[in-house]
């Protein structure tokens, strides 16, 4: 292959990436979000309160205590894994587990929206720990989270205008018992409320919480499959699959069927640029390969339960293929 051929080989992916980054700002509305780390305001616009956990204590959904029985689909929601605070980094596995389990704390067939979005706040930290190229995908996730939070805030303000007394004292949610607008208290309540109000369109794109939730839901499967692969052992020759290979396979299953060629081409560049396996081990705060499986398998089991519940609700309302 001549010099011109080699140049074309590298210039085409680079051009695709540059074009993709340029076009990305036009695809979804950019919504300003407060910096949750520096602002005294809660990250979630619902005015919900999530206590700051000083140590890796995992809540017990449904009142199941440590050593409890498996929940539906065999997930031991009451089990407290040996997770630790990982000093010096933003992403914390124990905090992700806390939010995931809290999202399933009240009903066996629903997911509390506040904790679901808090889980995504933590997963964004995980994604951004993988390098600057991954930030393209994490920004899309942030945009979708911002839309849902803004819709919840608008609903809260509308309720306060209709009933000042009720708005002042706080509205009791149908599912969580916390203070906030009932329409956005859980995945099920949001789906049913937006359908009732005509915010969801099955033919054209709308700025609904359901549409943005579906995109988050697909991305959750991508991360779930990636973490599941990272938790697996080596092959018969003792070789571990690379993060790039695992990420590519997870993307092929979860996201590629819903992305145009341009996005898929850019994703391939991201997979090639992913750091090696040692970096992933550091991110989840384990020192040895044999420690990876036990930690990630716990996270994957709980994440799969959240995914399954959300999938069931979306399927029930025929929302799996919202435009």
Q: Is the pTM of this model over 0.75?
A: no
Per-residue pLDDT of the chain (323 residues; tens, 9 = 90+): 555 555 455 555 555 555 444 434 333 333 333 333 333 233 333 333 233 344 444 444 333 333 333 344 444 444 444 577 777 788 888 899 999 999 998 888 999 999 999 999 999 999 888 877 777 778 889 999 999 999 998 888 888 787 655 444 443 344 333 334 588 999 999 999 999 999 998 888 888 999 999 999 999 999 999 999 999 888 888 888 998 999 999 999 999 999 999 989 888 888 888 888 888 888 888 888 888 888 899 999 999 999 999 999 999 999 998 88
Contact 151, 209 (CB under 8 A): yes
Contact 282, 274 (CB under 8 A): no
CA–CA gap between residue 77 and residue 21 (Å, rounded): 40
Q: Domain residues of the chain, as ranges?
A: 43-316
**Is 43-316 a CATH 1.20.58.110 domain?**
no
CA atoms within 13 A on the CB side of 224: 20
Helix axes 113-128, 289-316, angle to 10 degrees: 140
Q: Is 172 helix (H, G, I), strand (E, B) or coil?
A: strand
The two tokens of residue 269 are: 């560049």
Residue with tokens 């709980």: 302
């Amino acid at each position: 292959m001549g010099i011109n051929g080699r140049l074309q080989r590298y210039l085409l992916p680079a051009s695709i990436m540059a074009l993709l980054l340029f076009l990305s700002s036009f695809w979804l509305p950019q919504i300003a979000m407060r910096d949750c780390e520096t602002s005294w305001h809660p990250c979630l616009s619902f005015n919900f309160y999530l206590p700051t956990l000083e140590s890796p204590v995992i809540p017990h959904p449904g009142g199941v205590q440590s050593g409890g029985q498996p929940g539906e689909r065999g997930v031991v929601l009451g089990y407290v894994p040996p997770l630790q605070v990982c000093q010096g980094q933003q992403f914390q596995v124990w905090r992700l587990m806390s939010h995931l389990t809290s999202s399933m704390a009240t009903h066996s067939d629903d997911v509390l929206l506040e904790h679901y979005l808090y889980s995504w706040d933590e997963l964004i930290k995980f994604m951004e720990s993988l390098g600057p190229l991954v930030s393209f995908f994490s920004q899309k996730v942030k945009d979708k989270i911002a839309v849902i939070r803004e819709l919840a805030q608008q609903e809260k303000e509308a309720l306060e205008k209709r009933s000042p007394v009720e708005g002042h004292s706080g509205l009791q949610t149908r599912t969580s018992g916390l203070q906030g607008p009932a329409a956005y208290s859980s995945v099920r309540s949001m789906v049913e409320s937006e359908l009732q109000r005509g915010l969801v369109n099955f033919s054209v794109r709308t700025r609904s919480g359901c549409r943005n939730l579906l995109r988050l839901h697909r991305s959750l499967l991508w991360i779930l499959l990636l973490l599941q692969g990272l938790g697996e052992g080596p092959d018969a020759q003792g070789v571990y699959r690379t993060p790039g290979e695992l990420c590519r396979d997870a993307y092929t299953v979860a996201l590629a069927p819903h992305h145009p060629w341009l996005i898929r081409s850019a994703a391939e560049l991201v997979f090639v640029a992913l750091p090696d396996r040692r970096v992933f081990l550091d991110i989840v705060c384990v020192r040895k390969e044999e420690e990876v499986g036990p930690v990630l398998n716990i996270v994957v089991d709980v994440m799969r339960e959240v995914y399954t519940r959300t999938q069931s609700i979306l399927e029930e309302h025929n929302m799996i293929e919202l435009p």
